Amino acid sequence: MGNPAIFSLIDRAISDYSMIQRGDRILLAASGGKDSTVMAEYFYNRKKRKSCDFEVKAFHVATNISPSFPHILKEKFEEWGIDLITKDVDVLGRLKEGKKMNCWFCSNQRRLELSLIAQKLGYNKIALGHHLDDILETLLMNMLNKKSLFTMPPVLAFQKFPITIIRPLCLCDTAIIARHAKENGYLCSTCTCDYQENSGRKEARRRLFNLTEGSYVLKRNMFESLKNIHEEYLP
């Protein structure tokens, strides 16, 4: 099953947060990067288990500010038996006059398209490739910039639609994912657009590294602390 270590972490996350139930129809957000590709490989292997009773399809949002989906990964998805559908979206054309493009707006437009296609095709779950570092970076950004304590939860049910977001990589950090991708020869696209500097994500990544020095144990401790809050000792 590939790398037992990383898939064991995904198994743990799915079990701990009850991400998958029998009969689920899961739409996998496929960016063309290592995170969503590892997730696709995991679902391919999980589908081999006798106890599995769910459906998976991949959806790629192609924008005018991001690289195209690598052909070698299309072949991988075909090999894994995961159907991949693509939609072209003019993200720049949706930006209101006077507003700056940033990662948040781009990702928000992608999620909008994901939710629309999920509803159209009757999928009740959307699997996103956010990992442990993403979750902790978002936590720091919200604390330092918005004075609020919140981040990306492993499971989030939409209030207006019968769709639930799941993040199976929530216990995997970027180092574990990158190592697995390298060992398995993934050709991965990376966001190289000119708008990353407007998001604050790079600075949050630097701050997270300064706090943890890349230690997986310390990252997990930060993550687990969010479930162990003592309100009586807070302002």
Domains and CATH numbers, the chain: 4-229 (3.40.50.620)
pTM, to two decimals: 0.91
Average pLDDT over residues 220-231: 97
**3-8 long-range Cβ contacts below 8 angstroms, 24+ apart:** 3/180, 3/183, 3/184, 5/176, 6/38, 6/42, 6/172, 6/176, 6/177, 6/180, 7/42, 7/45
Average pLDDT over residues 120-132: 97
Average pLDDT over residues 127-145: 97
CA distance 143 to 145: 6
The pLDDT of residue 90 is 76
Average pLDDT over residues 87-105: 75
Average pLDDT over residues 86-106: 76
The pLDDT of residue 196 is 55
Confidence of residue 107 (pLDDT cuts 50, 70, 90): confident
Average pLDDT over residues 46-65: 89
The pLDDT of residue 161 is 84
The pLDDT of residue 1 is 45
Unique residue bearing structure tokens 């979750």: 135
Confidence of residue 102 (pLDDT cuts 50, 70, 90): low
Average pLDDT over residues 52-71: 87
Q: Where are the alpha helices (DSSP H) in the chain?
A: 4-16, 34-46, 71-79, 91-94, 103-121, 132-146, 174-183, 201-212, 216-225
